[in-house]
Amino acid sequence: MENNRYEIQRKINEDEFSTTFKAYDKKLNRYLCLKEYHDKNYFENLTNDLKYLSNLHHPNILEMYDLINSSNKCYLTYEIFDGISLDILFERKRVSESFLLDVLKKILLSLIYSENNGIFLGNLRIYNMIVDENDNFKIDIFKNFNGEHFGDSTAQLRFNITLLLEILEESNIDIVNSNLNNFYQKLRNYTFNDTQSIMKDLNEINYNKMPSSNNESIDNTIKLDLKNEHEKNMSYKIDENIFEEEIKNKKKSHNYLKYFLVYFTSVLLAFFAAAAIIFYYNSRPKAPDYVGKNLMLAVDQATANNIELVVDKSVSVDKSNYNKYVVIGQSPKVGEKLLFKKKIKVELGLEKENTMINLIGLNLKKAKKELSNLGLNVKKVRYKKSTVYDEGLIIDQSIEAGRKIQNGDFVTITVSSGKIKRKETVDDEYTPPEENERPNEDENDNSSVDNNDSNSNNNQESNNENTRKNDNSNSGE
């Protein structure tokens, strides 16, 4: 069922052809009713009728969501409304005339809305009428829906009158001695020509004459979102003068003040939160420089500053002798803020062995100094744009940190020539020859060969000159 989209919570209703569950829609994060049909052919016969019900959008009619026809089972999903049907309510609670009148009006408005949209719901019963604990009302048009008499416009008025009579007769009020008696007698005599005439007659009954009525709790205006051009010609207002103009203005001004206070409080809290974050960040200490230091010395300095040095658990460290280790890298880097916990993760090398240190992030001057202390020579300085480091900082080194080195080794370092801008390609750029610290080893070898050749030629010429002088002296004699 759509990759286990719906999570079943509990069973709500069961009839001959289907079972209805309360389910949770994990895709849209909402609860709904999921009606599972046992017979695929039965479901397919109802599909066209159910599609008409998807066009109903009324505050007192449950909204249809989706039809699902999978290979194994068929489902209908619609709005969930936690309440009980009117017949159960009448068994558990004694209702007032005003409550019953309000329910009848909402039922008639719903039926008029459906008929004006060309949808005739057929034979609705009292168990289709649902009320919750706050006296909110909905019509469950999907409960026990079998398509019988659906769309029968000629019989719809008879079904509507039968429904209203059933509600009045099963209610626990004395209809004969109530203000609803005349309306009840007209229903029994079938004196109405259409549903709107029933609504008109019911609307003439005065609330104030009813016992236990509470006019403030009854909303005589039903507001709808008009969905199409056909619905724009319909009116759903019963009484337009429910609220006085003065009450409306007071409520509106009260809402403006409430919105302003909520907005002002939110802005003030956001300001203080931002200020607290900035203050906390600025008050945090910066990471000291431990690279190149003996581990014992680094631990002592870190302890004095309440900083904990952490070594990777995969690296075994002889805790009895810290003097034989040297720090070759650290994270956070030098100058970065130490946030929640004052911890610095360090990389170690052996002190007794010559190991390369980490130059990444250092400026060129400091890097040359560190290399000089290690007895290394700078073979070449390359410049390249970087996505991270600013201009003048080391971004790469030819010998990785932690590797063994020997005195006199040559190192090539790469320096950032600035950060990369958008749509800018990166090409290696080399410094001019006069900025290179040392010539290539190949160049040294070639120059030495050239010097040897020139010296051998000079020696040969001097020998030839001496031979000529000796021959001349011999001939003179």
Q: Please report the DSSP string for 186-206 in residue order.
A: HHHTT--SSHHHHHHHHHTS-
- CA nearest neighbour of 115 among 225, 234, 226, 239: 234
Query: Quick one: average pLDDT of 392-406?
Result: 87
CB burial of residue 128 (10 Å; 0-12, 13-18, 19+): buried
Task: Say if residue 455's pLDDT is above 70.
Answer: no
The DSSP output letter for 36 is E
CA dist 111 and 9 (Å) reads 31
Contact 327, 298 (CB under 8 A): yes
Higher pLDDT, 115 or 279: 115
- CA nearest neighbour of 140 among 148, 293, 329, 132: 132
Worst-scoring range by mean pLDDT, 13-22, 57-66, 213-222?
213-222
Residues 292, 295, 301: CA angle, nearest 5 degrees: 90
- CA nearest neighbour of 312 among 330, 293, 294: 330
The pLDDT score that the predictor gives to residue 477 is: 37
Q: Three-class SS of residue 161? A: helix
The pLDDT score that the predictor gives to residue 216 is: 39
Contact 294, 321 (CB under 8 A): no
Contact 113, 55 (CB under 8 A): no
Task: Say if residue 459's pLDDT is above 60.
Answer: no
Worst-scoring range by mean pLDDT, 181-190, 404-413, 447-456?
447-456
Query: Quick one: average pLDDT of 145-150?
Result: 85
Confidence of residue 208 (pLDDT cuts 50, 70, 90): low
**β partners of residue 263:** none
Query: Quick one: average pLDDT of 278-300?
Result: 81
The pLDDT score that the predictor gives to residue 248 is: 62
Query: Quick one: average pLDDT of 398-407?
Result: 83
CB-based burial, 80-93: b 16+ in 10 Å, e otherwise: bbebbbbeebbeee
**β partners of residue 33:** 22, 78
Domains of the chain in start order, with CATH, are 1-207 (1.10.510.10), 286-350 (3.30.10.20), 355-419 (3.30.10.20)
Contact 362, 337 (CB under 8 A): no
Task: Say if residue 434's pLDDT is above 50.
Answer: no
Query: Quick one: average pLDDT of 339-350?
Result: 78
CA dist 308 and 302 (Å) reads 6
CA dist 199 and 393 (Å) reads 84
CA dist 24 and 77 (Å) reads 11
CA 368 to each of CA 359, 404, 429, 432: distance values in angstroms, whole numbers, following the listed order: 9, 18, 20, 18
The pLDDT score that the predictor gives to residue 227 is: 37
Task: Say if residue 287's pLDDT is above 90.
Answer: no
Task: Say if residue 108's pLDDT is above 60.
Answer: yes
CA dist 336 and 446 (Å) reads 47
Query: Quick one: average pLDDT of 412-428?
Result: 74
CA dist 76 and 67 (Å) reads 5
The pLDDT score that the predictor gives to residue 394 is: 93
Confidence of residue 231 (pLDDT cuts 50, 70, 90): very low
Query: Quick one: average pLDDT of 37-55?
Result: 90
Of the segments 124-133, 333-342, 450-459, which one has the largest average pLDDT value?
124-133
Radius of gyration, CA atoms only, the chain:
46
CB-based burial, 323-332: b 16+ in 10 Å, e otherwise: ebbbbbbbee
The pLDDT score that the predictor gives to residue 195 is: 92
Contact 136, 83 (CB under 8 A): yes
Task: Say if residue 407's pLDDT is above 70.
Answer: yes
- CA nearest neighbour of 37 among 23, 24, 21: 21
CA dist 331 and 343 (Å) reads 9
CA 328 to each of CA 285, 345, 355, 397: distance values in angstroms, whole numbers, following the listed order: 22, 11, 8, 14
Report yes or no on whether pTM surpasses 0.85: no
Task: Say if residue 147's pLDDT is above 90.
Answer: no
CB burial of residue 272 (10 Å; 0-12, 13-18, 19+): exposed
Residues 82, 83, 86: CA angle, nearest 5 degrees: 160
Q: 476 phi and psi, to 5 degrees?
A: -70, -40
CA 253 to each of CA 243, 246, 257, 260: distance values in angstroms, whole numbers, following the listed order: 15, 11, 6, 11
Query: Quick one: average pLDDT of 356-360?
Result: 85
Query: Quick one: average pLDDT of 126-138?
Result: 92
